[in-house]
Structure 1
Amino acid sequence: MLGAMQDWQLVVTHLLDHAGREYGHREHVTHWADGTETRTTWAEVRRDALKMTQALRAAGVGKGDRVATLAMNHARHLVTWYGAVGVGGVLHTVNPRLFDEQLEYIVNHAEDRVLLYDAAFQPIVDRLRDRWPSVTTYVCFDPPAEADVLGFAEWIGAFDGETEWTEVDERDPCMLCYTSGTTGHPKGVLYEHRSTMLHAMAGVQPNIFDLDSRAVMLPIVPMFHAASWGLPWAGAIAGIKFVYSAVNDPMVLCELFDRERVTHSAGVPTVWLGMFQHLDAIGKDVRDIGKLETAIIGGSAAPKFMIERLMKNGVRVAHAWGMTETSPIGTTGAYPWSWNSMDFAEQVELVQKQGRPAFGVELRCVDLDDP
């Protein structure tokens, strides 16, 4: 029976409405490849996302149309996540590290209408735009002063943000991510609003990302990789501060950790290894930079020495497993009720394992003889 007073569509624009209303002053920092930095807030992200929604409508983009990005981590990319879904469209984050043939296939297969990209990827756009017939609008996030391209600030600057999100159903699609094409062409995975909202609500929990409004998150995992592990969505629930770096240089990352007092970060093991090597070179350790409390490690299994080093520095290690097809959180190393009675070696051994399924995930172990 319909009609309950609590009925509420689980659509992802509610996330940004909440963050903009309750944590509007909370800032985000972007460190750009040229060394400059910009700062914005959740309220400004929401305003700019609404402006982008207007710009997309003016470009003829509507419900179900795909809006692609070819970009690294920065606040303008965050705006685009919400602006694309705000018009009822489907956000399509494209991995710029793929081969040209794969990029050509992905954009054409998705039939993207708009492509927003970093200036660093202008050569990719120049090579492939004639092979992307469905793309009618190109927007550069950070155009050089002399470039003859449409810049993001100029594009959305023509609008005032005085509009409403396009009304959608919670089972409508909101995001499209492609696998890396391990076998054959990359495969597209389509996420709906409802599943994305449930994933975000699970992600903030203590057993997963452990986020609250005090958190300062530096997500090293790219925003084009497996929905950035859901962090742009989950972060809005808690109203966290994002610290973005458009470059993954270990020295830059360590400096940002220290200066912005980063409490949470997420990345693959090779990124953490690079930071360890930089810290060793300057005679410091993890506890000497920032205020890191939680390190989320996924993408591949974290080696024992990495877990040990982080834990010895007082950092909680969230050892995660997932895949594009699971939105992507699958399991995390949840700490059991017996944790405090374990010695350090037992704790490390436990964290090395892949943990327990997140809420909403059901798993079954199979082998070739038991499909």
Structure 2
Amino acid sequence: MEGLMMQQPLRVASLLTHAERHHGSQEIVSRRVEGDIHRYRFVELAQRARRMANALAGLGIKAGDRVGTLAWNGYRHMELYFAVSGSGAVLHTLNPRLHVDQLAYIIDHAEDQVVFFDLTFLPLIEAVAQRVQSPKVFVAMTDRAHMPATHTLPIMLLCYEDLIDSHTQVFDWPPLDENCASSLCYTSGTTGHPKGVLYSHRSTVLHTYAAALPDALNCSARDVILPVVPMFHVNAWGLPYIACMVGAKLVFPGPALDGKSLYELIEAEQVTLSAGVPTVWQGLLRHVGERGTTFTSMRRTVVGGAPCPTAMTAEFQERYRVDVLHAWGMTELSPVGTVCSFKAHQLSLSPQQRYSIQATQGRAVFGIDMKIVDADGSELPWNGISAGDLMVRGPWVTRGYFRSDDAQPLVDGWFPTGDVAKIDPDGFMQITDRSKDVIKSGGEWISSIDIENVACLHPDVATAVCIAAKHPKWDERPLLLIVKKPGRSLDSDELLAFFDGRVAKWWRPDAVVFIDEVPIGATGKVLKNRLRELYQDHYVSAR
């Protein structure tokens, strides 16, 4: 017998409709690229999103077309989150930290029809525009008074506010199939070619429900949320959607992510919850500590993208009474997979025992199932000791990559994360290693193979190996191990300068170590694990 319940499709636009109807007076505050503070309410967000949806239709954007954004966290970017996806097109957030060639590849691979960008990124857009085929229009996310006087773009440049002003707010969000695509985000791997993860309306709304739960990010209408994690990086961990669902006040930092700017914004707007990677929080804690101030409103911070050091957790909690939520996720998971929230019986543990638990990545939120397997694919016990390859599945986990010719990644319905982990009897997961050779620096991936390929272009290099070395600030940084060609006098500075213009600046290794030979395994592969054992502490020991 079937249940007699209504069938209401899960659509991204429904989050905005709910926010407008039930939390219309709630505030959204943005520090703008133009330098000032902008304020408006959810009702105005909804009105402007509908205007932009009409503008997109006027530009010829159809259902399924990809629309790119290259922008900081701000109200205009938020409007595009809903105007693009809600109208049936696909929001494609672009990471400005990537090298220009990678951005060009991603834009063409996605076939973006329009690219919106913040003024900060005009030079990057001008460089990308010379390398791409697909966009028909670029849109500067500003008003007429701040439009660039000159530019070198080979195609049409429009003004965001002109588009808003020239269209009506009367727009009915179309009755989309909840399984159709809503947004697209690319992730890079060891092959060097970024891969697109295509989210659906259904997966996005379900992820929003789960991430807002009390044992996840614990969000409500009483919160003031500051997403420091960028909106161009995996949906800002879902926080823009969550704020609409629960009616929380949103505070957007724009491009100013230094400790002083963040602290001033947190205090001025009485932020209660923020989220970002450890390197950002290092700068914030340094600023607050040097000035002997404290947090008057912030009560929780979500730390993800890289492991949160126990010392950082202790400083937040003991010195400033700010609870730390250690989280783990991936682009392929939309991104939230686990959050480290205590169970009731753990609250009476000693501080040291609680910190040990908080060093883990936490337990799966509802909707995510996980397991660890050995090399033969056999499931390992959750005893907190056995380590194996971490596999996940769930309604917001990707089953494949956008327009990919590669074999689909699922193994018997499970997604292999590429991480090695252990899980304790309470379900708390801790990543112990990575099965791939990508490097995670400040919460962002760096491809070791790309680094090696550039180094090998130098005429004096015989062999190049790039490994992840521990770093006191960035968690990991690339370390380049080089075997020189016989008789060559190559030095570190010359080789590092060789990377300029070939990779993004933050991808460039911080140091070069010259070695006589690299260890080779039986199959002819370089034994990177042996090199990691020898050199992983290079940056730490050099202090």
- TM-score, length basis structure 2: 0.66
SS across alignment from 2:133: coil
The one of 253, 260, 263 aligned to 1:251: 260
Distance of aligned partners of 1:290 and 1:74 in 2 relative to their CA distance in 1, 3 Å threshold: farther
- Give structure 2 stretches of 5+ with no counterpart: 151-156, 378-388, 390-543
CA displacement, residues 182-209 of structure 1 (integer Å, 9 cap, x when unaligned): 4321010000111111000001111111
Distance of aligned partners of 1:179 and 1:146 in 2 relative to their CA distance in 1, 3 Å threshold: closer
Query: How many angstroms does 1:34 deviate by?
Result: 4.5
The 2-side partners of 1:140 and 1:176 are apart by 21
Q: How does 1:146-185 map to 2 (within 5 A)?
A: 147=149, 149-185=157-193
Give the letter aligned to residue 26 of structure 1: Q
The answer on whether the counterparts of 2:33 and 2:118 sit within 8 Å (CA) in structure 1 is no
SS across alignment from 2:216: coil
Q: How many residues align?
A: 368
The 1-side partners of 2:375 and 2:282 are apart by 34
The answer on whether the counterparts of 1:115 and 1:135 sit within 8 Å (CA) in structure 2 is yes
The answer on whether the counterparts of 1:25 and 1:43 sit within 8 Å (CA) in structure 2 is yes
Q: Which has the higher helix share?
A: 1
Query: How many angstroms does 1:338 deviate by?
Result: 1.1
Give the letter aligned to residue 79 of structure 1: E
Distance of aligned partners of 1:145 and 1:100 in 2 relative to their CA distance in 1, 3 Å threshold: closer
Partner residue in 1 for 2:301 = 295
Query: How many angstroms does 1:145 deviate by?
Result: 4.5
The 2-side partners of 1:219 and 1:147 are apart by 32
Q: Say if 2:275 is the partner of 1:266.
A: yes
Q: How does 1:313-332 map to 2 (within 5 A)?
A: 313-332=320-339
The 2-side partners of 1:335 and 1:201 are apart by 20
Q: Say if 2:14 is the partner of 1:27.
A: no
SS across alignment from 1:271: helix
SS across alignment from 2:158: coil
The 1-side partners of 2:74 and 2:338 are apart by 27
CA displacement, residues 44-66 of structure 1 (integer Å, 9 cap, x when unaligned): 11111101110011111111110
SS across alignment from 2:113: strand
SS across alignment from 1:301: coil
The 2-side partners of 1:154 and 1:175 are apart by 25
Query: How many angstroms does 1:297 deviate by?
Result: 0.3
The 1-side partners of 2:131 and 2:315 are apart by 48
Q: How does 1:122-201 map to 2 (within 5 A)?
A: 122-142=122-142, 144-145=146-147, 147=149, 149-201=157-209
The answer on whether the counterparts of 2:101 and 2:128 sit within 8 Å (CA) in structure 1 is no
The 2-side partners of 1:147 and 1:348 are apart by 54
CA displacement, residues 124-166 of structure 1 (integer Å, 9 cap, x when unaligned): 1112224322211211112525536422111111111111012
Partner residue in 2 for 1:99 = 99
Query: How many angstroms does 1:41 deviate by?
Result: 1.0
CA displacement, residues 52-94 of structure 1 (integer Å, 9 cap, x when unaligned): 1100111111111101100011011000000001210111000
Query: How many angstroms does 1:343 deviate by?
Result: 2.4
SS across alignment from 2:91: strand
CA displacement, residues 288-322 of structure 1 (integer Å, 9 cap, x when unaligned): 23411111000000000111111212222110000
- Give structure 1 stretches of 5+ with no counterpart: none
Distance of aligned partners of 1:233 and 1:81 in 2 relative to their CA distance in 1, 3 Å threshold: same
Mean Cα deviation higher: 212-221 or 335-344? 335-344
Partner residue in 2 for 1:78 = 78
CA displacement, residues 16-62 of structure 1 (integer Å, 9 cap, x when unaligned): 00001100100111112443110111111111110111001111111
Q: Say if 2:63 is the partner of 1:63.
A: yes
Partner residue in 2 for 1:54 = 54
The answer on whether the counterparts of 1:31 and 1:37 sit within 8 Å (CA) in structure 2 is yes
Mean Cα deviation higher: 74-83 or 130-139? 130-139
The one of 347, 350, 368 aligned to 2:354: 347
The 2-side partners of 1:185 and 1:8 are apart by 38
Identity of aligned residues (%): 40
Distance of aligned partners of 1:86 and 1:240 in 2 relative to their CA distance in 1, 3 Å threshold: same
SS across alignment from 1:338: helix
Q: Which has the higher strand share?
A: 2
Distance of aligned partners of 1:283 and 1:159 in 2 relative to their CA distance in 1, 3 Å threshold: same
The one of 210, 222, 240 aligned to 1:214: 222
CA displacement, residues 340-368 of structure 1 (integer Å, 9 cap, x when unaligned): 31222222221111111111111111344
Distance of aligned partners of 1:164 and 1:39 in 2 relative to their CA distance in 1, 3 Å threshold: same
The answer on whether the counterparts of 1:259 and 1:290 sit within 8 Å (CA) in structure 2 is no
The 2-side partners of 1:241 and 1:183 are apart by 41
Q: Which of the pair has more CA radius of gyration?
A: 2
The one of 274, 280, 290 aligned to 2:289: 280
Distance of aligned partners of 1:229 and 1:182 in 2 relative to their CA distance in 1, 3 Å threshold: farther
Mean Cα deviation higher: 197-206 or 133-142? 133-142
Query: How many angstroms does 1:2 deviate by?
Result: 7.8
The 2-side partners of 1:181 and 1:114 are apart by 26
The 2-side partners of 1:368 and 1:154 are apart by 57
Distance of aligned partners of 1:99 and 1:307 in 2 relative to their CA distance in 1, 3 Å threshold: same
User: What is the alpha-carbon root mean square deviation over aligned residues?
Assistant: 1.6
Query: How many angstroms does 1:100 deviate by?
Result: 0.9
Mean Cα deviation higher: 119-128 or 109-118? 119-128
Query: How many angstroms does 1:256 deviate by?
Result: 0.6
**Higher RCO, 1 or 2 (CA under 8 Å, sep at least 6)?**
1
SS across alignment from 1:84: helix
